[in-house]
Amino acid sequence: MTRMPGDERRQQILEEAVRLFSVNGFRGTTTKQIAAAAGISEAMVFRHFANKEELYAAILDHKACQHDLGDPLEAVCDPIANKDDWGVFHGIALNALRKHREDQDFFRLLLFSALEGHELARMFFESSVTGMYEALGSYIRARQQDGAFKELEPKAVVRAFVGMLIHHSLTTMLFDPEQKILKMTEEEAAHNFATVLLEGIKK
């Protein structure tokens, strides 16, 4: 058994846990399976995490740091400040689609956690999704006040926009990985979705 520093071992356990949880769900994955996948004893898993719940919470904390879940619009701060509507929506779309592709295990894990009614889904929703509705909704409301956007419910606009991104990623990831229905690069998809959204809400 290879010995490694505590931080590296903890990271290894997290990575194997994400992979297994994304395939089998929280209820369908045991700490024994996680230990076997990591090539360590189950006792070693418990040395780093008291139980599966703590491990699940650690996954979200790790992903929050990795993907900046705390600020859903950080990647488009400059376009927001400049009231660059295209930059805002295209930037959000491209950033989201890339994250979905780069971390498919976490994307699947979130789906499992939502279906199982696990705390992780609520934690992610409150830390990321709710923040997106508030932040992007505020931007849309401000642009309505500027007379640039139609008077629509801002959160409904956010839902329509995010819905395009999620549906595209889900379809590509789960149902049509070869993109037989619609073959587009992330840049092309972001361009199209941002255009559809803006053409629908601009005055």
User: pLDDT digits over 75-88, tens only?
Assistant: 899 999 999 999 99
For the segment 99-107, the average pLDDT, to the nearest whole number, is 83
Q: What is the tens place of the pLDDT at every residue in 104-127?
A: 887 887 787 788 777 767 777 777
Which of 20-29, 89-98, 159-168, 170-179 has the weakest average pLDDT? Answer: 20-29
Helix (H, G, I), strand (E, B) or coil at 202: strand
- 78 exposed, middle or buried (CB, 10 Å; 0-12, 13-18, 19+)? exposed
Task: Give 187's contacts (C-beta < 8 A, 6+ positions apart).
Answer: 94
Is the CATH number 1.20.140 carried by domain 68-201? no
The arithmetic mean of pLDDT across residues 159-180, rounded, is 94
State residue 149 phi and psi, 5-degree precision.
-115, 155
Q: What is the pTM of this model?
A: 0.77
Single out the residue of 41, 38, 198, 53 nearest to residue 120, CA to CA.
53
Residue 35's CB is within 10 A of a number of other CB atoms, namely 19
Residues 14 and 59 sit within 8 Å (Cβ to Cβ): yes
Chain-wide mean pLDDT for the chain? Answer: 87
Sign of CA dihedral 91, 94, 168, 171: negative
Residue range(s) of every CATH 1.10.10.60 domain in the chain: 6-62
Q: DSSP class of residue 51?
A: S
Residue ranges, CATH 1.10.357, the chain: 68-201
Contact status, residue 55 vs residue 14, Cβ threshold 8 Å: yes
3-state helix vs strand vs coil in the chain, percent to 5: 75, 0, 25
CATH 3.30.70.1140 for the 6-62 domain, yes or no: no
107, 173 Cβ separation under 8 angstroms: yes
